Amino acid sequence: MFSKHREIFKFLSLVLVVLITPLLVHEGYLLNVLIFVGIHTILSLALNLLLGYAGQISLGQAGFFGLGAYISGILTTTHAINPWIAMLAAATIVTTLAFFVGFPILKLKGHYLAMATLGLGIIIYIVFNEAVDRTGGPSGLSGIPNLSIAGYTFNTDLKNYYLIWTFTLVAMGLSLNLVHSRIGRALRAIHDSEVAARVMGVNARVLKVQIFALSAGLSAIAGSLYAHTMTFIAPASFGFNFSVELVTMVIIGGLASIYGSLLGAALLTVLPEMLRAFQDYDIIVYGLLLVLMTMFMPGGLVKGIPELFTSIRARATRKVKTDA
Amino acid sequence: MELSDQIAQYLVSGLSTGAIYALIGIGFAIIYNSTEIINFAQGELVMLGGMFTIFYLNTLHLPLPLAILLAVASTTAAGLIFERLTIRPLKSPTPLALIIITIGGSILIRGITMMIGGKDTHALPAFSGSEPILIGSATILPQHLWIFALTAVAITLNKLFFQYTITGKAMRACAVNRRAAGLVGIDVKKMVFFSFAISSSLGALAGIIVAPLTMTSYDVGIMLGLKGFCAAIIGGLSGGVGTVLGGLLLGVLESLGAGLISSGYKDAIAFIILLLILFLRPQGLFTKAQTERV
C-alpha cells in the first residue's frame, strides 16, 4: 500500500534525475525532445486523472491544449499582455469553460462520452482553422514571446528545459497528493461503481465535472507553456490525432498511475523520433500499440512489466518443482 | 441564381450526402444493437469501400460493376477480420477497452491503406455520365439519382431482412436482450458476426456511391464515420427510419449551413448538432424516452 516515505523517496529521485540530466545531455536536439517529454507528461497526467482515476474518457484533450496555446498566443501577440498573465488567463478561461461544458457532457457515459468529447475537440479545432483574423488560420500564429522572470528570459533550450520540468514536477507532485487524498479515493470509487460511490456519499456528478475542469485547465497550462517555448503554433498540432496520441500515452504507461503517465509520455515522444525514417507511418505504430496493449496488457507498462516478471518467475519455480 | 433556386440546389446535394450518412449510421446502429459496441472503425470501412473500388478499377482494370461488387465483398471481409482479431479475443470487454481497441483498429486500417495505396486523392468515375439533369430550377447529377436509388434499395433490403428472415429476427432478439436470446438457443456470437458483415457492406456501399462526387483517399473515413454516427444519434440508434431521417436532416442542415452561413464551418455543424442532441435528447429526435441510452 501507500507508504509515505517510499513515495517521497521515489519522487525526490525523479527530481534528482531531472536536475542532472542536462549535465549529461548537451545537445540542443535531445534537450528539445526532453522538453516535449515534459509537456506531454503534463498532458497525459491531466488525461490520466480523468481517464485512469475517474474512469471518464475524453477524446478532446488536444482541444483544451490548443485553447491554452491560442489564448496565450493571441493575448501576448495581438494584445501585448505579459506571458505569465496570459498563461493565468488561459488556465482560468479553459477551466471555467470545461466546468460549464462538463455538466451536460459528463452526464453521458462510455461511447456517448467519447463521441461528445471528440465532437467538442473537433469543433475547437475547426475554430482554430477558420477564425483566421484571430488565430492566423491554418498557417498559424508566430512571434509569441518567451516567458521571463524579472528580465531573465527563458530563451534557450536549457532554460526552457528547467522551466517546463519545474511545471511538470509540480503537476506530478500535486497529482500524487490528490490521488492519495480523500478525493483520489472518491474518484476510484466512481471508477469502480458510480452507483456505489453515490450511495457512500460521494457527490459523483460534481466531482466528475471538477476533475474534468482540472484536467482541461492543466492541459491549457501545458498549451500555454508550449506556445511560449515554441513561439509558434498552428492548428495541426491540436487535432484529433493528437487527442488519440494522448490516450495512447495514458494506456501504454498505465491507467491510474502518475509515473505511468511519465513513462507513456516519454515512450511516445522518444519513439517517433526514433521512427523518423518511417515518417508518416508512425501512426500505424500507435494503432498497433493501442490494440495490442488493450488486448494483452490492459494495465499498461507500469503494471504489465512487473506482472510479466512475476508470471515468469512463477513459471520458473513451478518448473523447478516439477523437475525435482 | 435566385435564393429559392439556390436553396433547391442545396436541398438536392444535402439530401444525397444525407443518404450517405444514413447508410453509415445504420451500420453503426446494427452493430450497436447487437453488441452495444460503437464501432469507431466504421468510417474506415466506408473509406475501404471507395479505395478497394479504385484498386479493382484502376490497377486490375476490371469493369466498374464488378469492381464495386468485389469492393463490397473485400470490405466486408476486412470488417469481419477486424472483429475476429480485435473485438472477439478481448478478455474484459469494458466500454473503455472497446472504445480504445476500435480506435486503435481504425488507425491501423487507415495507416495500412496509406502505406499500400499512398496518400493520393482518387476520383471514381460517375456510374452513368455526369450530364446534369434539370429539375425545375435545380440541377441534379445522375450520380445523385444513383445514391438515392441504391440507398433506398439497401435500406429496404435491410428492413426486409430484419423483419422477415429467421436470422434477422434472431438478430433483433439479440438487440432486445442478449442473454435471453442465448437462452432460447440463438447463437449470439454468430449474430454479432452477421451484424459486422451487414454494417461493413453498408459502409462499403456508402463509400463507393459517394466517391464519384467527393473523391476518396485514405483519410476520408474519420469525418464520414463521425457524421454517420451523428445521423444514428439523431435517429436514436435505430436501425431503420429514425436513422434515415437523421441522416437526411443532417445532410440538409449541413448543406444549407455551408451555403448560406459559412462553408468553412460546415463540418462544425454536424458536431454542434451531435452535442445538442446528446445533451438535450440522448434518446434521439424521433423516439420517446424509454431506455437509458447512456
pLDDT tens-digit profile of A27-80? 778 899 999 999 999 999 999 999 999 989 999 999 999 999 999 999 999 999
Per-residue confidence band for A322, with pLDDT thresholds at 50, 70 and 90: low
Say how many C-beta atoms besides its own lie within 10 A of residue B216's C-beta: 25
The mean pLDDT of A106-118, rounded to a whole number, is 90
Q: Which residues contact B166 (CB under 8 A, 6 or more apart)?
A: none
- pLDDT above 70 covers a percentage of chain A that reads 96
As a dihedral over the C-alpha atoms of residue A175, residue A231, residue A136, residue A70, rounded to 10 degrees, the angle is: 20
- Mean model confidence pLDDT for chain B: 88
Q: For position A78, what pLDDT does the model report?
A: 92
Calculate the alpha carbon distances from A222 to A92, A210, B197 in Å.
Answer: 13, 18, 43
- Fill in the amino acid letter for A126: I
Q: For position B294, what pLDDT does the model report?
A: 37
Fold of B8-129+136-280: ABC transporter involved in vitamin B12 uptake, BtuC (1.10.3470)
For A144, half-sphere exposure in the C-beta direction (CA atoms, 13 angstrom radius) is 29
Q: Which three cell numbers stand for residue B5?
A: 433556386
Looking at the predicted structure, is the pLDDT value of residue A137 above 50? Answer: yes
Q: Which residue has the higher pLDDT, A35 or B214?
A: A35
Q: What's the CA angle centered on A218, arms B282 and A58, to 5 degrees? A: 25
CB contacts < 8 A (A, B): 121
Is A294 close to B104, i.e. CB distance below 8 A?
Answer: yes
Per-residue confidence band for A324, with pLDDT thresholds at 50, 70 and 90: low
A130 touches chain B (CB under 8 A): yes
A265-274, B68-77, B217-226, range with greatest mean pLDDT: B68-77
Looking at the predicted structure, is the pLDDT value of residue B293 above 60? Answer: no
DSSP 8-state secondary structure symbol assigned to residue A236: G
> CA A49 to CA A211: how far, in whole Å?
7
Q: Which residues of B touch A118 (CB under 8 A)?
A: 226
Chain A: give the shortest CA distance to residue B74, in Å.
Answer: 21
Is A116 close to B107, i.e. CB distance below 8 A?
Answer: no
Please name the residue ranges forming H helices in A107-256.
110-130, 132-135, 157-179, 182-192, 194-199, 204-230, 240-253
Q: Give the predicted TM-score (pTM) of the model.
A: 0.89
Is A126 close to B274, i.e. CB distance below 8 A?
Answer: no
pLDDT, tens only, A255-297: 889 999 999 999 989 887 777 766 667 778 878 888 888 888 8
Chain B residue closest in CA terms to A287: B104
Looking at the predicted structure, is the pLDDT value of residue A106 above 70? Answer: yes
Which residue do the cell numbers 523518423 mark?
A276
> CA B264 to CA B107: how far, in whole Å?
26
Q: For position A307, what pLDDT does the model report?
A: 81
Q: For position B75, what pLDDT does the model report?
A: 96
Looking at the predicted structure, is the pLDDT value of residue B132 above 60? Answer: yes
Q: For position A1, what pLDDT does the model report?
A: 47
Selected from 1.10.1200, 1.10.150, 1.10.3470, 2.60.40, the CATH number assigned to the domain covering A14-323 reads 1.10.3470
Q: For position A275, what pLDDT does the model report?
A: 73
Chain B: give the shortest CA distance to residue A294, in Å.
Answer: 6
